[in-house]
Amino acid sequence: MDKSEVKAIVDRNIKPMMALLGVQHWKINVLYEPCTNPNWVASCARNIAYQKATITIDPSRADSEEDVIDSLRHELIHVLLAPFDAYRGIMTSHLTQGDTLDRIEDEAWEVAIENTVLAVERIFDWGLVNPLFYHLRHCFLSLICYPSKFL
């Protein structure tokens, strides 16, 4: 996608999505450039002490508006889970970078945090116990996250 298209999608959606996730108090900067991993559409660096984050979105890897919105939501959920980053930082501060324990911890961390993000995504995708709540939430999210479908 074109950088200006991706930026317009993010500009329309980031504030409502932040409010929905309860991270509206964070200062979030969005960059439109390749991620450190060339296979990623988006990534997020967080600084929990100052409640600041930088989300990077690679416009060349985004295929559609839905792809941008899904990636933005995924990275915002990482912001929501940032307190775990603080815990990890403390718990791994005694490890030597690159040694066996560091590599094991890194693999375990990636599985744990990405599966937690996916679980939160499923809460939004599948709804909670109350079907009426799910229906109303789905309509609200559809209207906010995919406004072009309703225009």
Whether the pLDDT of residue 149 is over 70: the answer is no
- Which pLDDT score is estimated for 81? 95
Q: What is the mean pLDDT of residues 55-74?
A: 96
The confidence score (pLDDT) of residue 138 equals: 67
Instruction: Give the pTM.
Output: 0.81
What pLDDT does residue 115 have? 92
The pLDDT value given to residue 128: 56
| Sheet strands side by side (includes 27-32) | 27-32, 52-57, 42-47
The mean pLDDT of the chain is 89
Mean pLDDT, residues 37-64: 96
Buried b (16+ CB within 10 A) or exposed e, 112-131: ebeeebeebeeebeebeeee
User: Quick one: pLDDT band at residue 57, thresholds 50, 70, 90?
Assistant: very high
**pLDDT recorded at residue 53:** 98
Distance CA 55, CA 78 (A): 10
Q: What is the pLDDT of residue 125?
A: 80
- Does pLDDT of 40 surpass 60? yes
What pLDDT digit, counting tens, does each position of 85-131 carry? 999 988 899 999 999 999 999 999 999 999 999 989 988 887 654 55
In one-letter notation, the amino acid at residue 135 is H
* Average pLDDT rounded to a whole number, residues 30-57: 96
Residue 146 has pLDDT above 90, yes or no: no
